Amino acid sequence: MSNEKTIRAYKAFDKEMKCRDFQYEVGKEYEMDGEISVCNRGFHACENPLDVLNHYFINGDGSIARFCEVEQSGKIDIEDGGHKQASSKIRIKAELKFADFVKLAVEYVKEKCGKGGNSQAASGYSAQLAASGDSAQLAASGHYAKLAASGYSAKLAAS
């Protein structure tokens, strides 16, 4: 991609690396002309890996989605609340194993928690976390990790 602004994001696909009948391939870049609008037109992805799970996880046939790290650029439209964005350009950087996807989600949440004044984290064997409230997000990894969340749009990930 050129010197234009890029956003590191995450995208899920069905087992054939398709999304909305568009075929993608790791290592390729795609571009479209015209108006870009979230939920209407553009290449969609999420900056927060956990937000991807709102759109894909288990496919209609029971298979688990394929997850990739992507770069978005060009014209970019970001949804109110910032849960997803559409762009006129997207590069499929790498496919992620689910465990790696969860690790990136944990890192993302830890980074965001460190920026505010109200952060809590747990790590190590038998770490336990709980959260409640709209859009609560938790991620954990390690032996015997336990998570609990409640509220609209609550998300959990563990490996």
Q: Over its length of 159 residues, how does the chain's per-residue pLDDT go in tens digits?
A: 456 889 999 999 998 999 989 999 999 999 999 999 999 999 999 999 999 988 887 777 778 889 999 999 999 999 888 889 999 999 999 999 989 999 999 999 888 887 655 555 666 665 656 666 666 667 666 666 666 666 666 666 665
- What confidence score (pLDDT) does residue 135 get? 65
- Calpha distance 112→91 (Å, rounded): 25
Dihedral (CA of 104, 105, 106, 109) sign? positive
pLDDT digits over 101-125, tens only?
999 999 998 888 876 555 556 666 6
Domain definitions of the chain by residue range: 7-96, 101-158
Given a contact cutoff of 8 angstroms between Cβ atoms, the answer to whether 158 and 109 are in contact is: no
